[in-house]
Amino acid sequence: MRPSSIRIGLAGMLLVLQACAGQQVGKLSTRVDTLEARDKRIVELEQRLATIEEQNARLTQLIEMMASQFESVKVVADALANMEGQGQGEPPGPDPSTVYSVPVDGSPVEGPDDAKITIVKAFEFACPFCERARPTLAQLRSQYGNDVRIVYKHYIVHQDDAVVPARAVCAAHMQGKFTVMKDAIWDQGFNAGRDLSLDNMKRQARRLGLNMKRFDKDMNGACVERIERDQALLSKVGVTGTPYFYVNGRLIRGAMPVETFRQVIDEELAKANQVIQTQGVKAGDYYQTEVVAKGRTEL
């Protein structure tokens, strides 16, 4: 083969190789452009996601703020209703400055018998604000220690939902397991899809090791009377809903902030300390002699 022919052949191959390389470069360039566009899109999506998360956080804060204000609005509404009722000849609601007589004999108690401050909680298990008050009461017991005890009394508003768990926790109380059953009903019942059914109450009772034969008997016997007695007693001192709290006989209505409770507790604790120190009343007798015996028995 002549050199000229070889040169021509090599030149042709070079042209072919250059063409192929050009095609590959073009494809690579296109691929790079595609990846860059995808990266840009990812950045845009991340920015949008961050914006959505920020909006969700603001919305959550707004919902929490609205929820925290709801009970205050309810209290105002109740107060206005009471004012309107007075104008129409209806009895007024309890006076927060008045000491009411709320006996606690036989009711479930959390805290020492000789506590200077007794907080009676009128509650039911179908009430979301009763549940919301749980951490507040726990905080108060932690802060005031042996000076505070919590007494629980039943006041049924939602007859269809609250009667069964009330009887269940009463039956557990009669076997010495009020607190664990109360917490189980809140956590495994109310906060678990509002399951306050009899089946769930029995399931929790078995889980806690209660004597089921006695549990069933008390639920349908002694506890029926106990709940009716609580309801009648609380109605006499002005309870019309839940939760109501009587701090050494003084009313706090609704799931109010812990500061509201502290103010009343501090005032009542000062009174109790003075009586105990100057009149020789024992701390364990103070609630009975100074609140139950001397407080108003009805509105």
State residue 63's pLDDT score: 64
State residue 203's pLDDT score: 98
Q: pTM, whole model, 2 decimals?
A: 0.71
d(CA 299, CA 287): 20
d(CA 242, CA 244): 5
Neighbours of 64 (CB within 10 A): 10
Strand order from edge to edge, sheet including 148-154 = 109-110, 148-154, 117-123, 244-247, 250-253
d(CA 199, CA 71): 32
| 218 and 174 Cβ atoms separated by less than 8 Å | yes
3-state helix, strand, coil in the chain (%, to 5): 65, 10, 25
The residues facing 118 across adjacent strands are 149
Which tens digits make up the pLDDT trace of 157-173? 999 999 999 999 999 99
State residue 175's pLDDT score: 98
SS3 138: helix
DSSP 94: P
Q: Which residue has the tokens 């106990």?
A: 226
Which tens digits make up the pLDDT trace of 17-72? 566 666 666 676 777 777 778 878 888 887 887 778 777 767 766 665 565 555 55
State residue 82's pLDDT score: 40
Residues of the chain with pLDDT under 70: 1-26, 28, 57, 60-92
| 132 and 164 Cβ atoms separated by less than 8 Å | no
d(CA 293, CA 101): 7
The residues facing 120 across adjacent strands are 151, 246
* Domain map (residue ranges) of the chain: 1-92, 109-292
Q: Homologous superfamily of 109-292 in CATH?
A: Glutaredoxin (3.40.30.10)
